[in-house]
Amino acid sequence: MNSPPRAGGAPGPAGTRQARELLRVAFGPSLVALVVIAAVVLSQLLIANSDMTGASGAIASMWLGVHQVPVSVAGSALGVMPLLPVMAMVYGTARTTAAAVTSTSWFVTRWVVASALGGPVLIAAICLAFIHDAASVLTELQTPDASRALGGVFIVHAIGAALGVGSRVGRRLLRSTPLPAWLPDAFRAAWAGVLALLALSAAVVSGSLIVHWSTMHDLYSITDSMFGQLSLTVLSVLYLPNVVVGAAAVAVGSSAHIGLATFSAFTVLGGDVPALPVLAAVPTPPLGPVWVALLIVAAVAGVALGQQCARHPLPPLQALAKVLVAALVGAAAMALLGYAGGGALGNFGDVSVDQTTFGPAVFVWFAGIGALTVAMSGGFQPRVRRPAPVIEEPEPEPEPESEPVAEEADPETVEIAPEAVVTVDEPAPPVAERKAPEPIPADLDAEDPEDHFMADDDMRGGRDGTTH
């Protein structure tokens, strides 16, 4: 329960806690990135025995580079930024935002989102000022375009804030809209498909690095110092997601480009490749049949998406719509990663994936294999057949029953109704007092039957207990 505000309008403990949460959301991930970048830059300057002139400009440029802002040094543009730092930034923003959105009030949620966007944009403006000041001393350093820098920072943190808020109040928000209730399941399926595609592509890259181990060793031999080899290792780790996205493009049937070099599952065109050890994983011509097996990776990712869609069966049309939405979201996410992982690389040219075929190819694999998986996994809810209406036929009118014809009764079979028996007022003697009828002798004269009958008076006398 929130405590009331203190005298003078000062916020109570609850207000102080909320203020700390907003500050953490606004500046937490950005300050952590600045500290890490400053440590790396200062350590490199110290190892190289260089002065600290322009250190602030280098730190600011690298912080903007984390948000996919191109950096220009000595007239050479570096637009291919590593994906690992920007993915870490999105994750940090999403986590801090989700931790701050603990209230169901939309007023608090709006303030959290505004803090998640406003703080990084403010730091970006300060970084631009530091770069502009350092460029006056170091002529090799050029100030990036302000709108491009501010826009890149805003988009990165907007994605993180949307993921964080959506994980907390996404379902409640969807319930208040006329959108279908299966949309959260579609987003989860798209996430599963994207993760499966990236994970399998990373496994392929790891296997290719093992196969081309000698090439990777030659790339490490361009420097003899341990610090140089350590720097190459750090750069390889930072650029590993870029290579994985390129492998995913090859797996779905698209292509990846490093300058004039082109790589796809069907052909490989050689060219100059930067001396980065992680790039030893790229195939070399002539192309062997093993690279065609990359298409299995896309099929398995489609199966993962379809299995998630089949967890909650729906009618056929709704199930297919869920698969299509999941495939569209997954294709958009992969296309965004492909765009963020590309850019200009100095004299080597552009590094990118073929955007005209990458997104559509991912959609086709996800939608086709996903729909087939849903059909085979029981994701289609069976239709309930309604019973046919029963038409009641009118009952025929009963025919009038004819009165039965009285038949002549047989006097021997006529039974007297119990109601017709006339009872005598005199009570009948108990059953125990009744005498059993005497047996009729067998040698009676059958010719004189009247001698064997008893009169009524005799029977009455017998009842009274007297004999005659």
Per-residue pLDDT tens digits for 301-346:
999 999 999 988 889 899 999 999 999 999 999 999 999 988 888 7
Tens-digit pLDDT profile for residues 155-169: 999 999 999 998 888
* Strand stretches in 81-220, DSSP E: none
Q: Which amino acid is at 18?
A: Q
Residue environment code for 88-119, b if the CB has 16+ CB neighbours within 10 A, otherwise e: ebbebbbbbbbebbeeeeeebbebbbebbbbb
Choose between 402 and 51: higher pLDDT: 51
Judged against a pLDDT cut of 50, whether residue 224 lies above it is answered with yes
Average pLDDT on 126-151 reads 85
Cβ neighbours for 19, distance < 8 A, ≥ 6 positions apart: 11
Residue 53 in contact with residue 133, Cβ under 8 Å? no
Between 77 and 276, residue with greater pLDDT: 276
Nearest residue to 157 (alpha-carbon basis) of 208, 112, 117? 117
- Band of residue 414 on the pLDDT scale cut at 50, 70, 90: very low
Query: Looking at residue 437, what is its pLDDT?
Result: 53
**59: exposed, middle or buried (C-beta count within 10 Å: 0-12, 13-18, 19+)?**
buried
> Residue 268 pairs with which residues in a beta bridge?
263
Average pLDDT over residues 347-376: 91
Q: What phi, psi does 377 have (nearest 5°)?
A: -100, 10
Average pLDDT over residues 182-187: 90
Examine the pLDDT at 184 and tell me if it is beyond 60: yes
Cβ(13)–Cβ(1) under 8 Å? no
First to last CA, the chain: 115
Q: How far is the C-alpha of 154 from the C-alpha of 163, rounded, in Å?
A: 14
Mean pLDDT of 119-129: 93
Q: Residue 329 and residue 353: Cα distance in Å, rounded?
A: 19
Tell me the C-alpha to C-alpha distance, in Å, between residue 224 and each of 212, 231, 251, 313, 395.
Answer: 21, 12, 36, 60, 106
CB 141 within 8 A of CB 135: yes
Q: Give residue 446's pLDDT band: very low, low, confident or very high (50, 70, 90).
A: very low
Q: Which residues pair with 351 in a beta bridge?
A: 258, 343
Lowest-pLDDT range of 87-91, 266-270, 329-333, 350-354: 266-270
How many angstroms separate the CA atoms of 166 and 162, rounded?
A: 6
Residue 175 pLDDT: 76
- Give the domain ranges of the chain: 13-177, 180-381
Bigger pLDDT: 265 vs 232 = 232
Nearest to 374 by CA among 310, 322, 303, 314: 310
Position 465 confidence tier, pLDDT thresholds 50, 70, 90: very low
| Neighbour-count burial for 446-464, b at 16+ CB within 10 Å, e otherwise | eeeeeeeeeeeeeeeeeee
Starting at the edge strand found earlier in the chain, the sheet holding 255-258 runs 268-269, 261-264, 255-258, 350-353, 343-344
Q: What is the pLDDT of residues 255-311, one digit of tens each?
A: 999 888 888 888 888 778 888 889 888 887 777 677 777 888 999 999 999 999 998
Q: What is the pLDDT of residue 9?
A: 43
pTM of the prediction? 0.76
Is the pLDDT assigned to residue 398 strictly greater than 50? yes
> So what's the pLDDT on residue 401?
57
